Amino acid sequence: MNALQRLWRARRQGQRQLADRLALLTVLAGTVVLTLLAVIVYAQAQRLLLHDRSLQGLHFGRHVDRLLLALARERELAQAVATGEEGLQARQVTARGEVDEATAALSSFIAGSDAVRQAIGDDESLAHLPDYLQRLRARVDQSVMREDTAVHLYTMPVRQLFRIAAQVEERCISPALGSRTHSLVTAAMLVEELARQSSALRRMEHASRGGNLTQDRQVVTPLLDAAYRADHLLAQLMAHTDPDIAAQARALAERHEYRSIKELADKLSVGAWSVSFRPRWGPLLDDADRMVVLSQQSRQLAAMNFVRLAEQQTADTRRRLIVISVLGALLIGTLSQAMWLLYRSIAVPLQQVASAAQATVNGNLGTIVGYQRRDEVGQMAQGVQVLIDTIGLLSSEMRRTRESVARGDLSVRADGTLFRGDWRALIDRFNDTLAEFAAMHQLLQHQAFHHPDSGLFNRMGLLHRVAEAGTPTAPCTVFLLLLVRLEDVTLTLGADFAAGLVRTLAGQLVARFGQRYLIAQVGSREFALVGLAASPPEALAQQADEIARACEEPLAYGDALMYVPGRVGVAVGTIGEVGVLLTNATLASRRACQHVRPGYVVHDESYRRQRERARRIELALPQAIERREPYMVFQPVTDGRSGQVLAFESLMRWRTASGEVISPADFIAIAEETGHILALGEMALTAACHTFMRSDVCAAFPEARVSVNVSPRQLMETDFVATVRQALAASGLPARRLALEITESAFMDDPDICIDRITQLRALGPAIYLDDFGTGYSSLSYLTRMPIDVLKIDQSFVRGRTDDASNLRIVSAMVQLARSMGITPLAEGVETARESDWLLALGCVQHQGYLYARPAPIEEHLAAALRPAGTAAPADAGR
């Protein structure tokens, strides 16, 4: 009987072990499968989210397309109103109603689409669109705009819509459909350009009264611009990776309507038409309207194809998610049964062992594992108990060592005799690491507070030492000694030689001033001497002068003697602000370097504020250029005898978005230093050329020349000849009406290259002015080699200098020199009639200054030109 019981128990135990192992294998396999299912489900969910976002983005594009077409119709009516057409009221009401309905539908769709709102972000352009259109319509109804102004103002919301649609396509549609070439936005832009083309044709037909083609370039140019942009956009679509989009684009390009408009544009672009050229206006207008309709249909077809593709992908993803979810549910049921078996036989004892281990981790090193079965888990429990006891002993030894280290005793070591085997090796490694830490701690502590070249305190060490020397409110004086030639010594004689000189100077400073100051090396060539007592101004000057003279003594390094002069910056304050005093003294030492003679400079708070303002301007300048905040004003050049306006000088002004006016004297110098002058110079050249091609400016000043100041960096660092050529071609301004003002400083770096560039510019046709003559790098040898048309006499020789006999001889010599070389003299800074008469008597006829007009927008000069003779200008005209 006993034998049967033992046999039954053995069989029962074998069955349990087999069930336990099967359950374990099932759990492991199920865990792997569940992990894979989770990864697949997550990937499919992400794909479903992408497809849903792409659908929302495509529907957003349909709403934007509707609004763009409505805006195009309202823009055409606005052009018609500007040209004086009658009977447009009913069509205007209908067009504006369509724009408002499309705007409301778009806003409603955005409010209900999280994906589109995230893609747009904080962009408020659409929210401000109704208010913008309301103000624009009011101006159209009051007939206060020209036709081109109306077109320009309607272009602004269209550009905003294109920009926002591109963001939505890039962030919502492209990740799912892979169309990263902005095909839908490009197609919409093509529709817009074809609509502009149709509108331009109607304007040309109206201007020609249906007969011979008009010769007015301002009427023809919009058609050429629209045709050029349409060709570019169509070429992009024909090169698209989607074959359907490329095929539709090629079909549009091959249509006879598109070719007829293109042939007309090609003829107009090269000026190949005669006075009697009479296009077939009716077919041309029909072809243009037909191309708008066909391109819109093509874009809608591409959008619907994308919608169908996105819907199909979404449906496929949903089906895969359902199948995966069913398989996961079946697997979870199977795993639940296996987990119950595993928990019954293994998890409970393992939980006891894990609890004891967790208690040990939490700090209870006296934990006892309460599991005594003689199986695999029991052996694990016994091993865990031995490990807990060893960890307790090791922890107590480590705690004892750590407490000794915390008290500053870095020589203490853990007792390795209490351990055996690998544990003793662990203790030995711990003791070795502790010894290395002690040595490294001492080294790092010294390096953290001392400079490696001289061994003196560094900046951090000085701050700690000064803080320990007194209360924060105690007086403190910082003298910062800057070695002005040490950098050159380092580059020419080597870093080791320079470091030797620094060590020699540090020794001399400590020997001479160590009793009176805390001395530190706070930079590679900067020493700080801190006095912890207040000093009267006369004593301050004596102390600074004594420190500066200490550098006049030769420094010995090996067998060599070297003079390394220094400049001293002084800052006075309290111990609590010693960090700020070091910065202020550094600024003062940099100012002292500008002095020829050795000396010192006491910190001036206004200079620091000036530097801070300069840095704020430097930070704000790139955004200002991007937002086009700088604008142009113009000052006339007048014939001093007749009062006739001969030319205008274009000058740049800057008013920030907050209304602050920044002087050119402040931001031009910073732009030169940072390189932003290149963008500003190109902006000024383009603005001046386009301004003087305006019809009202040409009517008021038909032969007036406009001059643009050219930076030396523009002339030497860019292909400025190509820039001028492009500006003249884009604006249509005749080259003879443009002048370029070059300052004498442009010749300082490479005179030969500069003269060559000026010669190339002169060959294009613009006049060349030599600006600020007599105040800079004046060289008569270069003057004879340069193709100069006008020599501008600087205002420092004119303003308030008519009674100076020496100045009279200088100005007379300048005028005679210019006239003898065939150069026209021009005087700046003419503010009084006496100065004007004085210049006329010397032979200088062309004048520029406040006597005639202040720099102002071109509109004020136009108003002055139209004002009847003898009528006084408004009181604020010169502001």
- Coil/strand/helix, residue 550: helix
More confident residue, 334 or 228: 228
Question: Which residue, chain included where needed, has tokens 């007086």?
Answer: 475
Q: Which of 85-89, 323-327, 343-347, 428-432 has the lowest mean pLDDT?
A: 343-347
The whole-number pLDDT of residue 102 equals 78
**Tens digit of each residue's pLDDT (9 = 90 or more) over 678-697:** 888 899 999 999 999 999 99
- Coil/strand/helix, residue 851: coil
Residue 12 lies in a domain: no
Residue 878 lies in a domain: no
More confident residue, 3 or 811: 811
| pLDDT above 70 for 472 | yes
Residues 187 and 216 in one domain: yes
| pLDDT above 80 for 559 | no
Burial class (CB in 10 A: 0-12, 13-18, 19+), 726: middle
Residues 547 and 596 in one domain: yes
Q: Which of 7-21, 351-365, 783-797 has the lowest mean pLDDT?
A: 7-21
| pLDDT above 60 for 62 | yes
- Coil/strand/helix, residue 704: coil
Q: What is the mean pLDDT of the chain?
A: 77
Residues 626 and 571 in one domain: no
Residues 175 and 268 in one domain: yes
Number of domains in the chain: 4
Q: Which of 248-257, 375-384, 455-464 has the lowest mean pLDDT?
A: 375-384
For residue 548, what pLDDT band results from cuts at 50, 70 and 90? confident
What is the identity of the amino acid at 509?
L
The whole-number pLDDT of residue 7 equals 44
Instruction: Give the chain's end-to-end CA distance (angstroms, integer).
Output: 123
The whole-number pLDDT of residue 724 equals 93
The whole-number pLDDT of residue 181 equals 46
Instruction: Assign 3-class secondary structure to 635-659.
Output: EEEEECCCCCEEEEEEEEEEECCCC
Residues 576 and 461 in one domain: yes
Residue 364 lies in a domain: no
Residues 717 and 817 in one domain: yes
Mean pLDDT to the nearest integer, 848-876: 78
**Tens digit of each residue's pLDDT (9 = 90 or more) over 256-311:** 778 878 877 777 776 656 556 777 777 877 777 777 777 766 666 666 666 666 66
Residue 676 lies in a domain: yes
Q: What is the CATH number of the domain that holds 708?
A: 3.20.20.450
Look up the domain containing 803 and give its range.
Answer: 614-862
**Integer-rounded Cα radius of gyration of the chain:** 42
Residues 599 and 571 in one domain: yes
Sequence-distant contacts of 204-209: CB under 8 A, at least 24 apart: 205/281, 205/284, 205/285, 206/83, 206/85, 208/281
The whole-number pLDDT of residue 24 equals 66
Which residues 6+ apart lie within 8 Å of 74 measured at CB? 92, 95, 96, 98, 99, 154
Q: Which of 3-12, 465-474, 501-510, 609-618 has the lowest mean pLDDT?
A: 3-12
Residue 17 lies in a domain: no
Give the single-character DSSP code of 747. G
For residue 638, what pLDDT band results from cuts at 50, 70 and 90? very high
In the chain, what percentage of residues exceed pLDDT 70? 72
| pLDDT above 90 for 186 | no
The whole-number pLDDT of residue 183 equals 66
Residues 139 and 224 in one domain: yes
Residues 629 and 745 in one domain: yes
More confident residue, 431 or 478: 478
Residues 758 and 836 in one domain: yes
Residues 171 and 227 in one domain: yes
Distance from CA of residue 529 to its chain's centroid?
41
Give the single-character DSSP code of 347. I
More confident residue, 244 or 467: 467
| pLDDT above 90 for 516 | no
Residues 566 and 657 in one domain: no
Residue 327 lies in a domain: no
Residue 370 lies in a domain: no
The whole-number pLDDT of residue 303 equals 67
